[in-house]
Amino acid sequence: MRKLCGAKSRRNENRPCRGIAMANGRCRMHGGKSTGRKTEEGKRNHALAVTTTGLHTNKAIEDKRQARKMINDTKLLLNSLQKEGSQHVSDRKK
């Protein structure tokens, strides 16, 4: 006969979970298979696997902020030059 999980169920307070138990005595939903990396090699491999790209470091964020400011300044300059150019054109038409 298979062993059942027996964890408290949210579905019905009076009925325990009827999932098939693993070696730890709970089902995959209530006991979980992984308890984390145990060996130093496993921990090292995990650290390498979750290494970030550096896109969200303080330096990268500041670089993006400066680039955005330069783009906005350039847009403002171009807009002001276009306005000046259109004023000169309208002066010539008069």
**pLDDT tens digits along 26-85:** 888 887 767 778 899 988 888 888 777 778 888 999 999 999 999 999 999 999 998 887
Number of domains within the chain: 2
Mapped onto helix, strand or coil, the DSSP state of residue 55 is coil
Task: Confirm whether 23 is domain-assigned.
Answer: yes
Q: Does the reported pTM lie above 0.75?
A: no
Per-residue pLDDT, 6: 85
Per-residue pLDDT, 2: 82
Distance of CA 54 to the CA centre of its chain: 13
Task: Confirm whether 43 is domain-assigned.
Answer: no
Structure tokens at 4: 């059942």
Task: Confirm whether 45 is domain-assigned.
Answer: no
Query: Which secondary-structure segment (H or E) carries 45?
Result: helix 40-49
Higher pLDDT, 23 or 86: 23
The residues with which 4 forms a beta bridge, in sequence order, are 20
Task: Confirm whether 47 is domain-assigned.
Answer: no
Task: Confirm whether 37 is domain-assigned.
Answer: no
Structure tokens at 57: 């470091």
Task: Confirm whether 78 is domain-assigned.
Answer: yes
Range of the domain at 72: 54-93
What distance in Å separates the CA atoms of residue 67 and residue 9, rounded to the nearest whole number?
Answer: 54
Higher pLDDT, 65 or 86: 65
Per-residue pLDDT, 90: 53
What distance in Å separates the CA atoms of residue 30 and residue 23, rounded to the nearest whole number?
Answer: 12
Task: Confirm whether 83 is domain-assigned.
Answer: yes
